[in-house]
Amino acid sequence: QRSAPSSSGLNTLSLRIRQHTKNAYYVAQFLAQHPAIERIFYPALPSHPQYEIYKKQGGASGMCSYILNKNANVRQFLISLKLCTVAVSLGGCETLIESPALMTHRSTLYANETNEQMSENLI
């Protein structure tokens, strides 16, 4: 009886994932052209370093990341959003956004100077 609610949505899962991925692609395309964005990470974009791998594997996901320009105020950007919830999670159905430098990886941001540093403006 417990599995009934979760199994009832399985018949539409592929449709929902397809739309989820399509929406992420549109967002990534928009952000790639936006002047406030320094760099975008989404494998379905031809500018992504692993674009050829993406084409062979046949799909992306509903997640993308990007780096705001250096002069951006990340906190203000997150606070100003209307359609996204600032939170850390995977696997939910909400539209979430996070800043690893402010939320999940602050203590490791500069832990190893020999590795490429995570941008403080990564979203």
- Pick from 79, 84, 75: nearest CA to 31: 84
Query: From CA 39, how far away is CA 91, in angstroms rounded?
Result: 25
Burial class of residue 74 (count of CB atoms within 10 Å of its CB; 0-12, 13-18, 19+): middle
Contact at 8 Å (CB) between 122 and 65?
Answer: yes
pLDDT attached to residue 118: 63
pLDDT attached to residue 6: 62
pLDDT attached to residue 114: 46
pLDDT attached to residue 115: 44
Which residue ranges make up each domain of the chain? 1-69, 73-123
CATH of domain 73-123: 3.90.1150.10
Per DSSP, helices labelled H in 34-122 are: 51-57, 74-80
pLDDT in tens, the chain (123 residues): 566 656 667 888 889 889 989 999 999 999 999 999 999 999 999 999 999 998 899 788 888 999 999 888 988 999 998 988 888 877 777 888 888 888 766 556 555 554 455 678 888
pLDDT attached to residue 42: 92
Give CA 48 to chain center in angstroms. 14
Question: Can you identify the CATH homologous superfamily of domain 1-69?
Answer: Aspartate Aminotransferase, domain 1 (3.90.1150.10)
